[in-house]
Amino acid sequence: MGWSSNNTKGEYNVLTRTIKSGAILVAGWLIVGPALAAGVHSGGHGHAMDFGQPGEATEASRTVEVTMGDNYFEPEKIQVKAGETVRFVVKNTGEFVHEFNIGSAAMHAAHQKEMIMMVEHGALEADRINHDMMKMDMGGGKTMEHHDPNAVLLEPSKSGEVVWKFAESADLEFACNVPGHYQAGMVGHIEVTK
């Protein structure tokens, strides 16, 4: 069983494959409007963001290991200090593609619309990333490639890393924006202290 979508008046019903426990996660109806046509993945976020910027692994004060299972993160909460550079080593131990993405709730909501587009175009499947489709030109030289410095998208059994230098202000989450995963609870919190 793979991704299933039902395009009726801009609504998409995304069904993920059977989870280890045998339950089926049905992502509710996601309302998508003209925002889908507005942007695509590559080049959409830029590098410097109000909550920080990409860091260098050599400048990291520590490494935080993050495990992504099917619809959960371990740990669920991470504390960082303002100005701190943290190296996140992320491993996907689940059966599905998952994302570790640092951002605000609003950023995740916008990003989820891009991820739906990736599924609709065949670039993202339940358990694999179609790298050729990710390179497809969506107009204006933009693609669906997932190269944002605050995120990593991983197939099952794969690892990756994000190195981030945190700014002072932040109400941050780390989340998986694969359709239905955020809504199923695949979101954690980052507390930035002084």
In eight-state DSSP terms, residue 19 is P
Of 162, 128, 127, the residue nearest 148 (C-alpha): 162
- 37: phi then psi, degrees, rounded to nearest 5: -80, -15
* CA 178/CA 155 separation, integer angstroms: 12
pTM (predicted TM-score): 0.76
- Please, what is the average pLDDT of the chain? 79
pLDDT for 138: 66
Q: Which residues contact 38 (CB under 8 A, 6 or more apart)?
A: none
pLDDT given at position 47:
54
Q: Is the dihedral of CA 134, 49, 60, 99 positive or negative?
A: negative
Report whether pLDDT(36) > 90: no
Confidence of residue 171 (pLDDT cuts 50, 70, 90): confident
Give pLDDT tens digits for 73-128.
999 999 999 999 999 999 999 999 999 999 999 999 999 998 998 899 899 999 99
Burial call 137-153: b when 16+ CB within 10 Å, e when fewer: ebeeeebbbbebbbbbb
Within 54-184, where are the H helices? 105-120, 131-134
